[in-house]
Amino acid sequence: MSTHTPQGPVDASLTPRYAGIATFAKLPRIEDVPAADVAVVGAPFDTGVSFRPGARFGPAHVREASRLLRPYNPAQDVSPFQTQQVVDAGDWSINPFNLEEAVAQVEAAATELGERVGKIVTIGGDHTIALPLLRAITKKHGPVAVLHFDAHLDTWDTYFGAPTTHGTPFRRASEEGLIDMTASMHAGIRGPLYGKEDLEDDAMLGFQIVTTEFTEEHGVPATLEKIRSRVGDKPLYISIDIDVLDPAHAPGTGTPEAGGLTSRELLRMIRGLADLNIVGADIVEVAPAYDHAQLTAVAASHVAYELISAMSPRA
């Protein structure tokens, strides 16, 4: 924890939320504080997508929607910007033409930033970035439990012979020993697959699945019970593809699937994980070109806010 009194967001009673520099939630930039506990950073990259492009513009879009966030979170009964120093670390510079170089750049940048701050919340960008982010965080924590909210498994082997795409990061992470295979889980999975063997491969890679259909039938509390019993007290990395939400709540994404979670359900689930050992997180696949009235960006900004709140120390 930073020993300095945290500097919070710009006071909205003095400066309108729609004015000034569009940092996440109007928070200070990392260069404007002596030390930080949590950094929000953008990873504007979408070279790994298989369908709609545009997630490279996600970080700016989510920041814009986050202007309306406020400093006290009544649902978690915490003021996350007072109990810890949260900053906006800007965007990483990522090569848009060379995927392998881009992945290396994300790993290097996340490693460097992780040496300066306690925890990182990354806004993507497509889901390819989860692989280098996990490579970086395991340098601090060893293999981590991964809780992956998504419509899709993202444990496929290759696309068009390419081993590193937004549909393969968790297979590569499992193969590299980055995940705790006794404590990792997908939540919100739904929709068609290429074949039943997709599920068999996924189980061998160390994941259990709680589907959207399970949440619909049994509710959020039962879903949380499954997640919590699986994760336990292990260091937990949370990776959230915004397409875990139904397209009614998040149309601005690259591979939408019908029948998803509501934004209310996802926020409740994150709140239900606040006492776990969360060591980092990402929110990916926000593609503003398909986002009507900032629906997706508003949802993503609130997801990030709940994650930061869940990371907040409690008295």
Q: What's the pLDDT tens digit per position in 77-95?
A: 999 999 999 999 999 999 9
* pLDDT at res. 12: 86
Quick: pLDDT tens for 107-148.
Answer: 999 999 999 999 999 999 999 999 999 999 999 999 999 999
Counting residues of the chain whose pLDDT is more than 70, the rounded percentage is 99
What count of other Cβ atoms lies within 10 Å of the Cβ of residue 309? 23
Judge whether 8 lies within some domain.
no
Q: CB burial class (10 A; 0-12, 13-18, 19+) of residue 199?
A: middle
Number of domains in the chain: 1
Indicate whether 223 belongs to any domain. Answer: yes
Structural domain includes residue 283? yes
pLDDT at 14: 85
DSSP 8-state code for residue 290: G
Confidence category of residue 162, pLDDT binned at 50, 70, 90: very high
In terms of residue numbers, what domain contains 192?
Answer: 24-311
**What's the average model confidence in pLDDT over 234-262?**
98
Q: Is the pLDDT of residue 168 over 80?
A: yes
- The arithmetic mean of pLDDT across residues 18-31, rounded, is 95
pLDDT, residue 228, reads: 98
Indicate the pLDDT class of residue 9, thresholds 50, 70 and 90: very high
Q: How confident is the model at residue 314 (pLDDT cuts 50, 70, 90)?
A: confident
The predicted structure's pLDDT at residue 4: 76
Residue with tokens 């906006």: 88
% of the chain at pLDDT higher than 90: 94
Look at residue 3 in the predicted model and tell me its pLDDT.
67
**CA 266 – CA 306 distance, rounded (Å):** 10
How is residue 14 annotated by DSSP? T
CATH of the domain at 161: 3.40.800.10
CB atoms within 10 A of CB 207: 24
Do the domain assignments include residue 14? no
Residue 186 lies in a domain: yes
- Note whether residue 9 is domain-resident: no
Mean pLDDT score, 213-227: 98
**Position 3 in a domain:** no
Which residue intervals of the chain are DSSP H helices?
58-65, 99-116, 130-141, 169-175, 197-204, 212-218, 220-231, 263-271, 295-311
In angstroms, the first-to-last Cα distance of the chain is 13
Cα–Cα distance measured from residue 202 to residue 152, given in angstroms and rounded to the nearest whole number: 11
**Under 8 Å between Cβ of 292 and 251:** yes
Q: Is the pLDDT of residue 230 over 80?
A: yes
CA atoms within 13 A on the CB side of 191: 21
CA atoms within 13 Å, Cβ hemisphere of 33 = 25
| Range 302-306 average pLDDT | 98
pLDDT score of 250: 98
In a domain, 296, yes or no: yes
Q: Is the pLDDT of residue 2 over 70?
A: no
**Mean pLDDT, rounded, of the chain:** 96
**pLDDT-derived band of residue 1, with 50, 70 and 90 as boundaries?**
low
